Amino acid sequence: MNKYFSTKMSIFVFATPALLLFTVFCVYPLVPEIWMSLQKHNGFQSLGFVGLDNYKAIFASSSFWTAHKNTYLIVGISLLLGIPLSMTLALFMEIQTPRLRRFFKSAAMFPAILSVTVVAQIWLAFYEPNWGLFNSILRAIGMDSWTHSWLTEKNTVMLSIGLTFLWQYIGLNAMLFYTGIKTIPKSYYEAALIDGANFAQVCMRITIPLLQNIIKYVLILSTLGSMAFYSHVRVMTAGGPGDKSRTVIYQMYYTAFDTSEFGKGTAIAVVFILECLLISFLIQRFVARDKLEF
């Protein structure tokens, strides 16, 4: 009994400073934002308490739902394409010679360390409708009908920006998976090879199951990072054409700073925070619940 209480007390003592810092710098700043979301506010002063009117207004706005559709499209691209491709790249690096492995590790990290502005400008050149890389390739192979003005057509703009985002961060996730692979004991692989398992069986029965904690971390990182998607949109399209490439964060910025409706902007921020907390809870609750011990 004394051991039980001493352990609990130790946890409390060591966790208290971190909890205080989290409360001061993360929880407390939300209080004035929630209060502002209940007011008509121009960024300098309150113009009156309006209750839930700001929330009713944003939920009635088509731009708000367009922003959500675009945001979750980016999340879908990151999860359904990004994570499998990152895992494949990590497994590919693992089977290379040390020299090639160093090359691929450097190449994988290079896009992630570049500024978003630099990456966006590179891909703006790729998407340029007249002389850009993609349309030039399509014309060269006789597929002129497939050419597009990629960033000014509503049917292609979000997929184009999503591809840019995917390219920039796929290598970072691959390195996280690769780091996890290196922690798996070699004896597991040696036993599998003795039993006659091939590469695919080793990946499906050993590597991927034992990476569940890393997969969970990458899942959270990719999901929340995709939901906070803003910079690429700002540089590449500024939310256009119209509002067709706005994300939730961009819609929040536009509402608060471009239209000076800070009450509605903070209401969008509050809704966004609640969504992120809910998604984080669901991932923590249902993904990789079993504790692994090697």
pLDDT of residue 1: 47
187-245, pLDDT tens digit by residue? Answer: 888 888 888 888 888 888 888 888 988 999 899 999 999 998 899 999 999 988 888 99
Domain count, the chain: 1
CATH number of the CATH domain containing 126: 1.10.3720.10
Q: 3-state secondary structure string, the chain?
A: CHHHHHHHHHHHHHHHHHHHHHHHHHHCCHHHHHHHCCEEECCCCEEEECCCHHHHHHHCCHHHHHHHHHHHHHHHHHHHHHHHHHHHHHHHHHCCCHHHHHHHHHHHHHHHHCCHHHHHHHHHHHHCCCCCHHHHHHHHCCCHHHCCCCCCCCCCHHHHHHHHHHHHHHHHHHHHHHHHHHCCCHHHHHHHHHCCCCHHHHHHHHHHHHCHHHHHHHHHHHHHHHHCCCHHHHHHCCCCCCCCCCCHHHHHHHHHHHCCCHHHHHHHHHHHHHHHHHHHHHHHHHCCCCCCCC
Contact 205, 114 (CB under 8 A): no
For residues 74 and 78, give the distance between their C-alpha atoms in angstroms, rounded to a whole number: 6
Domain membership of residue 244 (yes or no) is yes
Domain membership of residue 212 (yes or no) is yes
* Structural domain harbouring 66: 62-286
176-190, pLDDT tens digit by residue? Answer: 999 999 988 888 888
Contact 271, 57 (CB under 8 A): no
For residues 127 and 162, give the distance between their C-alpha atoms in angstroms, rounded to a whole number: 13
Domain membership of residue 264 (yes or no) is yes
Domain membership of residue 125 (yes or no) is yes
Domain membership of residue 31 (yes or no) is no
pLDDT of residue 6: 55
From the centroid of its chain, how far is CA 210? 23
Domain membership of residue 189 (yes or no) is yes
Phi, psi at 197, each rounded to 5° = -75, 140
Domain membership of residue 234 (yes or no) is yes
Angle at 187 between CA 186 and CA 191, to 5 degrees: 125
Domain membership of residue 205 (yes or no) is yes
pLDDT of residue 232: 93
Under-50 pLDDT residues of the chain: 1, 5
